[in-house]
């Protein structure tokens, strides 16, 4: 069972306080989008063996959503960060680069 | 208007390793807004009678008090019968501010767990480090108690107060009593 | 025979005799005994029958690795099957029954299987019971189920209680032997929070039995002193009778504490499951001795050598008068020496090794006059329910008998394997150690935690360090390394405790005895005692192509019994490797999974049983409903009254009465469970326009509007009435199940997509008791309460207002889910019961009756109103339900709008909502499918629709239903066929789903 740090309230707690909500940084497509864009938006998910960016909620805590970068194989948590962003922070990406060289090629 | 009746009508359990009691109706107002805004802080302090607490802290004074719930939410506590007046006052003061204040006094139940083994009773149900040097008076923790969300703090050593939703008050009372059953001392803290 | 010795027994309190029963026979023991030691002291070597052949089985070990000694323990509410005699502490009044035999332990009919063993090889069940298929269910399974299984299932409810405990520490040490104590002592010196758990009731592990000095004094002195030191440290917690059951991700450990198994009359919970989160875990879990594979190694009286020693030293029990020791290592000599010191006879030590020089242990044994035969082995053990002798052969040969030696016990040792289970649970890898012929933890491939660094470290014998000096050094080094991982350190000058070194000769791997044992011998050489797997079975599996260790395990069931192969796995792997001609490390191990040793299911449940099994949500009027005949319906975690039964009436009759009464007079519904979300802010209107398919921003203050919510996939997820409270505040009602999920849904969009929109949401569901006052007399009742104008002019349909009724501050909504004149009134929850009482009084002479959810369903179905979860199921879009009117054409965007344009959603062939009426007035089965012409590719009849709601309508005096039907609205009047699961076929006509008051006049008065 994972331990997770909530960047919104600063608590580090076990997974049972949280809820995972799948892949993060998905672009919402809507009226005016093509069918292919809609398919990508609604159904296509990465499911990588390795680095994954996810959306979580501190459900039994402050109630806020946030993002987490995690290795799906080793369960290492690279970091958590605000949900109010379109992409992971540069600093976090650099840390992941250092720990998992070449991960972007397979992500 | 009738007399207010809390979820468990002040139910109590005193036969175990800690005393459990439901505290009856407590006034509570949820305030959402920009916690750094002066106007909001001023209004909140006026309603609660205490300063705005820091992240994950609670300040109390008599029946008044204020707890940090999330980066944009405070919980103001007061006497049950004062809640509506305080709410109206808050709403008036915040009329020109983007904020939301609602009375949640009736939506909640408040319990107290008292005694030297109170920490152990709580640690059987909440996945929180409750060691005396890790969880101290003044801290306010939102977590889960067994299977329901809860928030708790220690007004003083050996005493916990916890808030849960009204609908699960009986469940919370039941699990607290089970956790406090005679002979269940852990002798850990 | 096995018996209690006059002396010895360091764990016994001989001043406290206790009595117990085994298979109804009265026996006696001492406080401090295990059930195993007490049984042996009473000459009860035979304790059970094996799983497959029902062979007589005796106690083999002295710890949790015991495969045979499983008993049914206790009676009734204290009954426990499969209790292990070696880990069951004896108490006065204990009652145990042996398992897996009929009619008795001594004479067992199933033992006939052993004569058929040639016909019951590995995979027998798979091969035999495959054809014919119908036999699976009616012949094979009942037979197998009857003959299989060990303990009985309990028949009465468990009378004990169980609990969890959340604990946090920097360093968790699992195992309280000398390595665990040394690691804990060292780690604690840094000031780290240290918790030590030990599965038995005693500290020090097996070192006091094995002997040796620590820091120049007897090991027991060091153990006592270290324990005292640890007990005196504020930062250390010590728990006995607490097993490390499993290691999980990110430093999570389950500890299993047995609080009253040894003292069943003690108050409090029986087991406590410790949910420990540790910064780092040190597994000081010791090692387990391996059996040797020779013919007859399962005959009662053949035991592990170190266990024989344990019984002598710890419990003053001799397992036999004459014990032959057979070994491939030096350790077993300690047993021979201990037996000799206890005055018992050791006729011979058969040592499979051929050594040039005598080691210390050999010299000592010889000096005691024990005959030692090097290069020798057991060809076969003689005896049935008890060992009577051994046939000696040369290890190098094929088993030709050189000599027969009579004895009543055999102490065997095939070497030691570190207990690597906890290391391996979370990904720790193993490395083959040639010198000790065992798998050691591989420190280069340790389990990794949340930050990607190692979080488990082994110490002592668990690392593969078996010598006292080595294992203490290893434990100290483990603590040192762990502290570094945690960013702490040992104080200056901290030193490792020094253990005595015993010069040992190297062990020699022996996987079969004798090396060239014939088929006849191999068929009697057991690997897995509990599951009856023999050397010949593993060889057969390899021969039949089960070359992967995981496949061979499942084919033979090796290691799949309740002991999870603690004794058998390495020997089994080695046998498989031998059969495949491969190295053991190339074959690898099977996966180690928690728990290390079985734990009670009840401890996993903890407090979640009985009334606390799950949270039951209660409305403020719950107790009133309960006292007034409510039949409960679970709606999520809520309990809502399904109907209120009066007197002897049936639930169905109660529902019919409630419908009629509400339509004709007046009904009260507890609607408190409906979700209530306040949405406020300058952008709240814009936000709700995105969330609802229809327009909410244009709703006038004081008005209500019914709204639909879709996911961005386009599927209908919730519905409810929205009220505009003021310029920037709306109150959204959700379904009962939707309060939390729709609140979360709103927050998700606000926090993760439209975070710059100025909107706040609060869930005020439980702030209010909400009561629907429904029926032609509803207004009269409210007027009797008085306090506000509830006339049509003052409060029209789909309006709301704040006010007072009967002195209660309330908010009144004129909304209707029944088609009747209806008010939904919200009061503060703490006044809910009083307000309900006031309504009951006010309605007394107006025919008021409470009604439940089934009545609510019928009322709405008569009106053709959809219900989320009945007409919708996550695949239904509003268009399917003819709710086009609720889909705004003006709005540029809302959740689901674009998805509705996708080809499948816009397909004219979707199933659509219609009303259904059976041709004979009966009630259609809920969920029944309508069948059409032809069949699909699987030969099944094509389906063209299904029933989504179906009731008997007392108002109309017939069955009414709604359903989704292919092109339904275009097929009005058509009669469809619905085969029921009862074998009947129902005919129903497609009709308008609005069955009652089509113009909606009744609600708008």
Partner residue facing C166 (CB), from B123, B170, B184: B123
Please answer yes or no on whether A33 and C747 come within 8 Å at the CB atom: no
Contact call for residues C319 and C211 (beta carbons, < 8 A): no
Closest residue to C450, CB basis, from A21, A30, A77: A77
| DSSP E strands, C357-484 | 372-374, 376-383, 387-394, 403-406, 409-413, 416-418, 430-433, 438-441, 456-458
Architecture of the structural domain at B27-106: 2-Layer Sandwich (3.30)
User: What is the least distance, in Å, from the CA of B137 to any CA of chain C?
Assistant: 19
Instruction: Give residue C140's pLDDT.
Output: 67
Distances (CA, A) of B31 to B28, B41, B155, C476: 10, 10, 22, 54
Q: Is B146 on the interface with C (CB under 8 A)?
A: yes
pLDDT (mean) for C432-452: 96
pLDDT at B65: 98
On whether any CB of chain B is under 8 Å from the CB of A22, the answer is no
pLDDT band at A3 (very low <50, low <70, confident <90, very high): very high
Categorize the per-residue pLDDT at C114 as very low, low, confident or very high, splitting at 50, 70 and 90.
low
Interface test with A, best of B58, B69, B71, B142 (most A CBs within 10 A): B142
Angle C370-C375-C378 (CA atoms, 0-180°, nearest 5)?
80
CA angle C720, C721, C727 (to 5 degrees): 135
Domain limits of chain B? 27-106, 111-179
* Nearest-neighbour CA in chain B from C259: distance (Å): 9
Are the Cβ atoms of C829 and B33 closer than 8 angstroms? no
Mean pLDDT across chain B, nearest whole number? Answer: 97
Contact C752 A64 (CB under 8 A): no
Q: Do C607 and B170 touch (CB under 8 A)?
A: no
Task: Give how far Cα C67 sits from Cα of A74, C60, C386, C555, Å.
Answer: 34, 7, 17, 19
| Cβ–Cβ below 8 Å for B184 and C269 | yes
3-state DSSP assignment of residue C79? coil
Residue of A nearest to B129 (CA): A13
Structure tokens at C67: 């495969």
Cα C485 to Cα A95, A96, C60, C453, C951: the distances in Å are 20, 21, 40, 8, 66
For C559-588, what is each residue's pLDDT tens digit? Answer: 888 888 899 899 999 999 999 999 999 998
What is the pTM for the complete model shown?
0.95
pLDDT value at residue C138: 72
pLDDT reported for residue A24: 96
B149 touches chain C (CB under 8 A): no
**Rounded to whole angstroms, how far apart are CA atoms B5 and B2?**
9
Cα distance from B34 to chain A (closest Cα, Å)? 14
Please report where in the chains the tokens 């053990």 appear, as a residue. C381
C-alpha–C-alpha distance, residues A9 and A17, integer Å: 13
Quote the minimal CA–CA distance from C755 to chain A in Å. Answer: 6
Give the distance, in angstroms, between the CA of residue C392 and the centroid of all CA atoms in the same chain. Answer: 48
Subunit partners of chain A (3 or more CB pairs within 8 A): B, C
Question: Mean pLDDT across chain C, nearest whole number?
Answer: 94
Q: Give chain C positions within 8 Å (CB) of B176.
A: none
Of the pLDDT bands very low, low, confident and very high (cuts 50, 70, 90), residue B55 is very high
Provide the 10 A C-beta neighbour count for residue C946: 16
C-beta atoms of C250 and A1 within 8 A: yes
Restricting to A residues 36-65, those with a Cβ less than 8 Å away from any Cβ of B are: 59-64
Three-class DSSP labels, B122-141 = HHCCCCCCCCCCCCCCCEEE
pLDDT over threshold 90, residue C35:
yes
Residues of A in contact with C249 (CB under 8 A): 1-2, 75
Nearest to B146 by CA among B113, B179, B185, B189: B179
Residues with Cβ within 8 Å of residue A80, at least 6 apart in sequence: A4, A5, A6, A7, A56, A66, A67, A68, A69
Please tell me the distance in Å from C234's CA to the nearest CA on chain B. 10
Looking at beta carbons, which residues of chain C come within 8 Å of B102? 678, 762, 764, 767
Q: Is the pLDDT of residue C100 over 80?
A: no
Nearest CA in chain A to C254: A1
Q: What is the pLDDT of residue C334?
A: 97
pLDDT in tens, C826-851: 999 999 999 999 999 999 999 999 99
Q: What pLDDT sits at residue C300?
A: 96
Closest to C686 (Cα-Cα) out of C696, C701, C694: C696
Determine whether the interchain pair C764/B148 forms a contact, defined as Cβ–Cβ distance below 8 Å: no
Residues of C in contact with A84 (CB under 8 A): 751-752, 755
User: What is the domain class of B111-179 according to CATH?
Assistant: alpha beta
pLDDT at C51 (0 to 100): 75
Both tokens of C234, joined, read 């504020």
Query: Does residue C615 contact residue B173 with C-beta atoms inside 8 Å?
Result: no
Nearest partner of C566 among C285, C969, C908, judged by Cα: C285
Distance from CA of B3 to the nearest CA of C (A): 7
Rounded to a whole number of angstroms, the distance from the CA of B142 to the nearest CA of chain A is: 5
Please give the ipTM for the structure prediction: 0.98
Biggest alpha carbon–alpha carbon distance for chain B: 57
Sort C267 into a burial class: Cβ within 10 Å, 0-12 / 13-18 / 19+.
exposed
What tens digit of pLDDT does each residue of C488-531 get?
A: 999 999 999 999 998 899 999 999 999 999 999 999 999 999 88
Would you list the domain boundaries of chain A?
Answer: 3-106
Let me know: does B111 contact B173? Beta carbons within 8 Å.
yes
Does residue C104 carry a pLDDT above 80? no
What pairs with residue C70 in β-bridges?
C84
Residue B144 and residue A17: Cβ atoms within 8 Å?
yes
CB contact under 8 A, C166 and B128: yes
Best residue in A5, A9, A63 to probe B by mutation, most B CBs within 10 Å?
A9
Chain A residues near residue B127 by CB distance under 8 angstroms = 13-14, 16-17
Chain C positions touching A77 (Cβ under 8 A) are 450-451
A64–B143 CB contact, under 8 Å: no
Flag if A76 and C450 touch (Cβ within 8 Å): yes
* pLDDT at site C49: 83
Q: Is the pLDDT reported for residue C147 higher than 60?
A: no
CATH 3.30.2270.10 is held by the domain A3-106:
yes
């Amino acid at each position: 069972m994972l331990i997770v740090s909530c960047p919104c309230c600063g608590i580090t707690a076990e997974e049972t306080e949280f809820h995972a909500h799948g892949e993060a940084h998905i672009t919402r497509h809507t009226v005016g989008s093509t069918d292919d864009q809609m398919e990508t938006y609604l159904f296509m998910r990465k499911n990588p063996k390795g680095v994954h960016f996810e959306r979580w909620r501190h459900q039994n805590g402050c109630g806020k959503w946030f993002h987490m970068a995690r290795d799906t194989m080793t369960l290492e948590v690279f970091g958590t960060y605000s949900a109010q962003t379109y992409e992971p922070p540069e600093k976090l990406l650099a840390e992941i680069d250092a720990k998992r060289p070449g991960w972007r090629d397979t992500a | 208007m009738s007399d207010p009746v809390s979820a468990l009508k002040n139910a109590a359990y005193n036969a175990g390793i800690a005393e459990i009691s439901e505290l009856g109706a407590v006034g509570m107002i949820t305030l959402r807004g920009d916690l750094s805004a002066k106007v909001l802080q001023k209004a909140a302090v006026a309603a609660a009678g205490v300063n705005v607490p820091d992240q994950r802290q609670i300040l109390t004074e008599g029946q008044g008090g204020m707890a940090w719930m999330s980066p944009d939410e405070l919980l103001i506590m007061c006497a049950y019968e004062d809640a509506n007046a305080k709410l109206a006052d808050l709403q008036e003061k915040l009329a020109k501010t983007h904020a939301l204040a609602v009375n949640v006094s009736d939506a909640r139940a408040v319990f107290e767990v008292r005694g030297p083994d109170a920490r152990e009773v709580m640690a059987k149900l909440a996945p929180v480090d409750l060691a005396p040097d890790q969880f101290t008076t003044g801290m306010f923790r939102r977590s889960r108690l067994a299977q329901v969300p809860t928030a708790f703090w220690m007004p003083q050593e050996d005493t916990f107060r916890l808030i849960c939703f009204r609908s699960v008050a009986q469940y919370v009372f039941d699990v607290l009593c089970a956790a406090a059953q005679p002979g269940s001392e852990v002798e850990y803290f | 025979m096995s018996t209690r010795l006059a002396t010895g027994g360091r764990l016994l309190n001989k001043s406290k005799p206790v009595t117990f029963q085994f298979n109804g026979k009265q026996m006696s023991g001492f406080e401090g005994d295990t059930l195993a030691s007490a049984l042996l002291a009473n000459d009860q070597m035979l304790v059970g029958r094996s799983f497959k052949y029902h062979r007589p089985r005796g106690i083999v070990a002295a710890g949790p690795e015991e495969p045979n000694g499983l008993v049914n323990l206790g009676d009734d509410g204290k009954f426990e099957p499969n209790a292990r005699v070696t880990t069951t502490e004896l108490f006065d009044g204990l009652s145990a029954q042996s398992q897996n035999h009929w009619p008795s332990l001594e004479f067992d009919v199933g033992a006939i299987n052993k004569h058929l063993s040639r016909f019951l090889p590995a995979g027998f069940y798979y091969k035999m019971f495959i054809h014919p298929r119908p036999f699976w269910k009616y012949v094979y399974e009942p037979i197998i189920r009857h003959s299989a299984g060990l303990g009985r299932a309990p028949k009465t409810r468990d009378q004990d209680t169980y609990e969890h405990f959340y604990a946090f520490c920097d360093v968790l040490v699992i195992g309280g032997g000398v390595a665990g104590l040394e690691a804990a002592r060292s780690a604690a010196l840094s000031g780290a929070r240290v918790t030590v758990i030990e599965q038995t009731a005693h500290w020090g592990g097996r070192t006091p039995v094995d002997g040796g000095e620590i820091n120049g004094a007897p090991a027991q002195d060091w153990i006592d002193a270290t324990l005292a030191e640890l007990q005196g440290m504020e930062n250390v917690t010590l728990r006995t009778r607490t097993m490390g059951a499993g290691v999980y991700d990110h430093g999570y450990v389950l500890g299993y504490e047995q609080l009253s198994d040894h003292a069943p009359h003690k108050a409090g919970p029986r087991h406590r499951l410790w949910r420990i989160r540790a910064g780092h875990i040190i597994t000081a879990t010791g090692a387990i001795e391996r059996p040797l594979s020779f013919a007859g190694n399962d005959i009662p009286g053949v035991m592990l050598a170190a266990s024989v020693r344990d019984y002598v030293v710890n419990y003053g029990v001799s397992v036999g008068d004459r014990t032959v020791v057979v070994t491939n290592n030096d350790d077993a000599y300690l047993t021979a020496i201990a037996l000799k010191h206890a005055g018992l006879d050791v006729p011979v030590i058969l040592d499979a090794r051929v050594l040039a020089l005598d080691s210390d242990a050999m010299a000592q044994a010889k000096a005691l006059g024990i005959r030692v035969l090097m290069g020798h082995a057991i060809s076969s053990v003689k005896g049935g329910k008890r060992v009577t002798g051994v046939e000696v052969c040369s290890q190098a040969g094929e088993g030709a008998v050189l000599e027969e030696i009579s004895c009543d016990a055999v102490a065997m040792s095939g070497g030691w394997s570190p207990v690597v289970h906890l290391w391996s649970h979370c990904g720790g890898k193993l490395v083959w150690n040639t010198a000790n012929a065992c798998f050691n933890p591989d420190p280069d491939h340790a389990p990794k935690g949340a930050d990607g660094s190692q979080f488990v470290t082994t110490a002592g014998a668990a690392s593969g360090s078996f010598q006292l000096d080595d294992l203490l050094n290893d434990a100290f080094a483990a603590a040192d390394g762990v502290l570094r991982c945690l960013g702490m350190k040992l104080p200056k000058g901290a030193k490792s405790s020094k253990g005595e070194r015993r010069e040992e000769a190297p062990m020699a791997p022996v996987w079969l005895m004798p090396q060239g044992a014939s088929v006849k011998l191999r068929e009697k050489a057991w690997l897995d005692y509990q599951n009856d797997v023999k050397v010949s079975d593993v060889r057969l599996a390899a021969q039949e192509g089960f070359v992967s260790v995981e496949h061979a395990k499942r084919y033979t069931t090796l290691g799949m019994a309740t002991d999870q192969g603690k004794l058998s796995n390495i020997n089994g792997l080695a046998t498989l490797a031998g059969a495949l001609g491969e190295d053991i490390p190339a074959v690898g191990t099977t996966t180690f999974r928690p728990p290390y040793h079985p734990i009670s299911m009840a401890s996993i449940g903890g407090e979640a049983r009985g009334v606390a099994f799950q949270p039951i949500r209660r409305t403020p009027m719950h107790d009133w409903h309960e006292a007034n005949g409510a039949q409960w319906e679970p709606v999520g975690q809520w309990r809502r009254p399904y109907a209120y039964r009066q007197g002897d009436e049936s639930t169905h009759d109660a529902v019919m009465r409630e419908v009629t009464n509400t339509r004709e007079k007046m009904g009260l519904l507890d609607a408190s469970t409906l979700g209530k979300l306040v949405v406020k802010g300058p952008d709240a209107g814009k936000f709700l326009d995105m969330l609802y398919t229809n327009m909410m921003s244009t709703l006038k203050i004081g008005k209500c509007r019914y709204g639909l919510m879709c996911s961005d996939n386009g599927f209908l997820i919730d519905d409810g009435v929205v009220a505009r409270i003021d310029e920037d505040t709306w109150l959204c009602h959700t379904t009962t199940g939707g309060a939390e999920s729709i609140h979360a849904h709103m927050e998700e969009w606000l926090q993760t997509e439209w975070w710059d929109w100025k909107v706040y949401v609060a869930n005020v569901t439980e702030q209010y008791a909400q009561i629907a006052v429904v029926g032609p007399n509803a207004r009269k009742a409210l007027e009797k309460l008085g306090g506000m104008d509830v006339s049509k002019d003052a409060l029209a349909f789909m309006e709301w207002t704040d006010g007072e009724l009967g002195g209660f501050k309330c908010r009144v909504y004129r909304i209707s889910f029944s088609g009747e004149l209806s008010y939904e009134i919200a009061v503060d929850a703490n006044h809910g019961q009083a307000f309900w009482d006031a309504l009951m009084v006010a309605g007394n002479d107006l025919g008021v009756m409470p009604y439940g959810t089934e009545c609510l369903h019928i009322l709405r179905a008569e009106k053709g109103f959809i219900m989320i979860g009945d007409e919708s199921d996550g695949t239904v879009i509003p268009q399917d339900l003819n709710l086009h009117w609720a889909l705004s054409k003006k709005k540029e965007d809302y959740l689901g709008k674009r998805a509705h344009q996708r080809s499948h959603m816009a397909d004219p062939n979707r199933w659509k909502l219609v009303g259904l009426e059976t041709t004979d007035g009966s009630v259609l089965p809920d969920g029944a499918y309508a069948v059409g012409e032809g069949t699909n590719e699987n030969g099944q009849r094509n389906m063209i629709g299904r029933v989504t709601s179906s009731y008997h309508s007392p108002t109309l005096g017939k069955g009414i239903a709604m359903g989704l039907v292919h092109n339904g609205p275009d097929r009005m009047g058509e009669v469809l066929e619905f085969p029921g699961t009862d074998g009947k076929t129902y005919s129903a006509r497609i009709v308008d789903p609005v069955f009652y008051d089509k113009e909606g006049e009744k609600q708008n008065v």
